[in-house]
Structure 1
Amino acid sequence: MEIDPLPNGSGSVGTTIPEAAATTTAATAALKTTPSSKLSQLTESLKLEHQLLRVPFEHYKKTIRANHRAVEKEVSSVISSVADVADCNEPSKEDAVLNLTSLVSRLQGLKRKLEEGSRTENLQAQRCRARLDHLESVDAENLSEWNNVRLKRILVDYMLRMSYYDTAMKLAESSNIQDLVDIDVFQEAKKVIDALRNQEVGPALAWCVDNKSRLKKSKSKFEFQLRLQEFIELVRAENHMRAILYARRHLAPWGATHLKELQRVMATLAFRSNTGCAKYKVLFEPKQWDFLVDQFKQEFCRLYGMTLEPLLNIYLQAGLSALKTPYPYRDCHSLTAYGFIYIYLVTL
């Protein structure tokens, strides 16, 4: 998932209480066994590991919500079927057997979903635990090795953001850090990005539905922008009646908060896709899809509490800024290594 350089910082409003407590606990455990000479260095290092804990924690919460919705839907269906059977007046033996068989099948399906959901949640919980253990394992004796693992994590993060998925997976597997990187999370984003690049909004809209409450809480306009683009495509195809019906169903609810944008897009019914008016012509340009891709990347990073820019860029920028002072020159060789790695990856 290639992400263009953006302002540094997490898109999240703030760290949640469990994450803050987990980071504090890990830092405290690590620092108890650390000599005072390296206390400051470790403290600053652990402060930068917010994303390491935040991403799996958010993924874990999302998995729980998805499993809860699926089970709730299936339970409602089973209860409805039981009620229908109970309402039958003196059903025949064949009907009773058929109804009971159907109920047993539904209950077996519900059991399978519960088991699958439980396995998925356990995997997510294990990943959170593995990252906490990783943070707690740092001390003065293994600091060099721990920093080496962190460098590999940063490289995997960069590769995933730049869409080098196979390379990222191989590095993670060879370094045995699968639980410390977020390959599955970025692969989820890849499906939406690939669809948008193919000018398909379906997967992106499905993603918005799955994360509707959180997007609404952050006052995201992403779903509205997807709806606008879908409307534009109907106008481009000169399917005006469908476009009007689509606007009534999907765009009208946004009128109270985005009236000006809505009015501008609705005017395309009169100007058409071949208009020479720059104000409306831009709405039909292919770069609108690129804008949606960039917008999704930002929303995705905010949702999972990721930095908007690759971690490698952030570390490199911080290191280059520090080089302006006389203090860090003793570490310039390691910084130069970071720089060469960065330049190499950019030029791939």
Structure 2
Amino acid sequence: MEMDSLPNGSATSPGPSPGPTAAAAPSSKLSHLSESLKLEHQFLRVPFEHYKKTIRANHRVVEREMSAVINGVSEAADRDDMSSDDAVNHLSSLVSRLQGLKRKLEEGSRTEHLQAQRCRARLDHLESADVESLSDWNNTRLNRILVDYMLRMSYYDTAAKLAESRNIQDLVDIDVFQEAKKVIEALQNKEVGPALAWCAENKSRLKKSKSKFEFQLRLQEFIELVRAENNLRAITYAQKYLAPWGTTHMKELQRVFVTVAYKSTTECATYKVLFEPKQWDYLVDQFKQEFCKLYGMTLEPLLNIYLQAGLSALKTPYCYDDDCTKEDPLSQEGFRKLAQPLPYSKQHHSKLVCYITKELMDTENPPQVLPNGYVYSSKALEEMARKNDGKITCPRTECPVRTVHKSLTAGFGTNSGVRTCPGKIMVIAQPGITIGNLNIFLRRVQYASVEKYSMGLRVQFQVSMKARMMHLLI
């Protein structure tokens, strides 16, 4: 559905030449494409962050192994009592270590190459977007969004099969989510080891973002020791792992340390909550937030974000009425629930969409009103009349084509037979419109900024007040 305001004009004004009109469509598509590309930040950020992480990991391996080898050589050089056989054995062990480092570097190089290839594939995908292939490009983006949703909902196998069937493995982040899967499953099984290992791998970045996730993991491990009534070990653990956090999280530490004096069955509300199983669910949520922040991902699935953006553009109070047309997406209960917290659409100009062709009605395709009050586009009625010997079949009645006359709405300008009010509402006041039809029309218009399917068309009104509209007829 088009959300841009229509230009003001008159039905009597000459239409633009075919040349500019033909050029306007690609220009509009190009504008929409440019706006779409602005939403692809995560698409490039995730593989780039993964690439940098792989480089850092390989760099740490080289530093660690080379430092060990250099120290080993220095140690052998400083020993005067080392025999030739001992020296040969010592150097052989160092050579073996270097060979192991070589294998690790080869594996790391392959991983880096795959990550670089993925970044290149995504750049190529964005560069391939143009007006001619926009439909295919949008289909690929839809598949990417669906894979992202499946991965976030833990449907890993289904996501992998969809990516493989659409040949978009380099355009989705299955391996990144597989990394998160291991940590999430461990936390759900009440194990903090994989999560602590993940924190160690990303220590510098977590520290830079002032993350408390590692601290929360340490607290939970302390609580589990207290739950097992292993207080002595819990105190030793606190001295080793929790004491360094005392300068920044003293209040939380004091609260947790008091649990040593209680059991897990305590009824004291202040400390009972620390022993509840939901603390592990809280850690899972914390990890997901830190993980998304680390890779520059959105917390919400992309599918939810795109759906909410679209639904907020379509949502009107009329959508929740019992007589809401089935063509409105918000007539479905699932979409209604998703749109419940969203604001209503704000429309500055009225728009008409033909009930038959689903095309926008404007000065090039003006609306036509039938004697029964229903309105359709000129294109639809001309096509219908051509196929039915000059007869136009309405959902409720039939009429000769000669009885049809033009009608205008706000956003298209004013003309004879159309009157306006301060609320910028246009009332169709042609001879074929009776007071009875107008009353039916008024009963259907009940809200401000409401998108309504009435009289065979979809209308969006800025203001709708029966008294003002009736005043126009006086």
TM-score for the superposition, normalised by structure 1: 0.83
Match of 1:257 in 2: 248
- Tell me the SS of whatever aligns to 1:73: helix
Q: How many angstroms apart in 2 are the aligned matches of 1:335 and 1:89?
A: 88
1:257 Cα deviation after fit: 1.1
1:232 aligns with one of 213, 220, 223: 223
Does the 8 Å CA contact 1:312/1:342 hold for their aligned counterparts?
Answer: no
Deviations 1:57-94 (A, max 9, x none): 00011111111111110000110111122123263332
Aligned length: 303
Q: Is 1:177 the counterpart of 2:168 in the alignment? A: yes
Match of 1:246 in 2: 237
Q: What RMSD over aligned residues (CA atoms) do the two structures have, in Å?
A: 2.2
Q: Is 1:153 the counterpart of 2:137 in the alignment? A: no
- Tell me the SS of whatever aligns to 1:118: helix
2:289 aligns with one of 298, 301, 305: 298
Long gaps (5+) in structure 1: 1-33, 326-332, 344-348
1:76 aligns with one of 63, 67, 86: 67
1:125 aligns with one of 96, 100, 116: 116
Match of 1:113 in 2: 104
Does the 8 Å CA contact 2:329/2:335 hold for their aligned counterparts?
Answer: no
1:205 aligns with one of 193, 196, 207: 196
Deviations 1:174-216 (A, max 9, x none): 0000000000000000000000000000000110111111111
Does the 8 Å CA contact 1:56/1:127 hold for their aligned counterparts?
Answer: yes
Report 1:1-348 matches (<5 A).
35-89=26-80, 91-324=82-315
1:217 Cα deviation after fit: 1.0
- Tell me the SS of whatever aligns to 1:199: coil
- Tell me the SS of whatever aligns to 1:62: helix
1:335 Cα deviation after fit: 9.6
Residues 91/262 of structure 1: CA separation in 2 closer, same or farther (3 Å cut): closer
Amino acid at match of 1:294: D
- Tell me the SS of whatever aligns to 1:176: coil
Does the 8 Å CA contact 2:30/2:130 hold for their aligned counterparts?
Answer: no
Worse-superposed segment, 162-171 or 115-124: 115-124
Does the 8 Å CA contact 1:195/1:203 hold for their aligned counterparts?
Answer: yes
Q: How many angstroms apart in 1 are the aligned matches of 2:131 and 2:252?
A: 57
Does the 8 Å CA contact 2:231/2:260 hold for their aligned counterparts?
Answer: yes
Q: How many angstroms apart in 1 are the aligned matches of 2:95 and 2:107?
A: 18
- Tell me the SS of whatever aligns to 1:138: coil
Q: How many angstroms apart in 1 are the aligned matches of 2:295 and 2:334?
A: 26
Deviations 1:12-63 (A, max 9, x none): xxxxxxxxxxxxxxxxxxxxxx942322201110011011000000001111
Q: How many angstroms apart in 1 are the aligned matches of 2:72 and 2:298?
A: 47
Larger radius of gyration: 2
Worse-superposed segment, 160-169 or 272-281: 272-281
Q: Which has the higher contact order (CA 8 A, sep 6+)?
A: 1
Q: Which runs of 4+ in 1 moved over 4 A?
A: 333-337, 339-343
Q: How many angstroms apart in 2 are the aligned matches of 1:273 and 1:137?
A: 60
Residues 296/342 of structure 1: CA separation in 2 closer, same or farther (3 Å cut): farther
Q: How many angstroms apart in 2 are the aligned matches of 1:94 and 1:342?
A: 78
Q: How many angstroms apart in 2 are the aligned matches of 1:320 and 1:41?
A: 18
Long gaps (5+) in structure 2: 1-24, 317-325, 337-474
Q: How many angstroms apart in 2 are the aligned matches of 1:272 and 1:153?
A: 49
Does the 8 Å CA contact 1:159/1:165 hold for their aligned counterparts?
Answer: yes
Does the 8 Å CA contact 1:51/1:306 hold for their aligned counterparts?
Answer: yes
Q: How many angstroms apart in 1 are the aligned matches of 2:335 and 2:178?
A: 22
Does the 8 Å CA contact 1:301/1:307 hold for their aligned counterparts?
Answer: yes
Does the 8 Å CA contact 1:222/1:296 hold for their aligned counterparts?
Answer: yes
1:334 Cα deviation after fit: 11
Q: How many angstroms apart in 2 are the aligned matches of 1:341 and 1:65?
A: 45
Residues 136/123 of structure 1: CA separation in 2 closer, same or farther (3 Å cut): same
Amino acid at match of 2:91: L
Deviations 1:137-157 (A, max 9, x none): 000110000000000000000
- Tell me the SS of whatever aligns to 1:267: helix
Residues 245/221 of structure 1: CA separation in 2 closer, same or farther (3 Å cut): same
Amino acid at match of 2:268: C
Does the 8 Å CA contact 1:131/1:179 hold for their aligned counterparts?
Answer: yes
- Tell me the SS of whatever aligns to 1:205: helix
Amino acid at match of 1:257: T
- Tell me the SS of whatever aligns to 2:287: helix
Q: How many angstroms apart in 2 are the aligned matches of 1:115 and 1:40?
A: 45
Match of 2:378 in 1: none
Q: How many angstroms apart in 1 are the aligned matches of 2:37 and 2:153?
A: 25
1:324 Cα deviation after fit: 3.5
Residues 302/257 of structure 1: CA separation in 2 closer, same or farther (3 Å cut): same
Does the 8 Å CA contact 1:319/1:335 hold for their aligned counterparts?
Answer: no
Of Structure 1 and Structure 2, the greater helix share is in: 1
Residues 335/256 of structure 1: CA separation in 2 closer, same or farther (3 Å cut): farther
Identity %: 79
Q: How many angstroms apart in 1 are the aligned matches of 2:84 and 2:245?
A: 54
1:172 Cα deviation after fit: 0.3
Residues 335/301 of structure 1: CA separation in 2 closer, same or farther (3 Å cut): farther
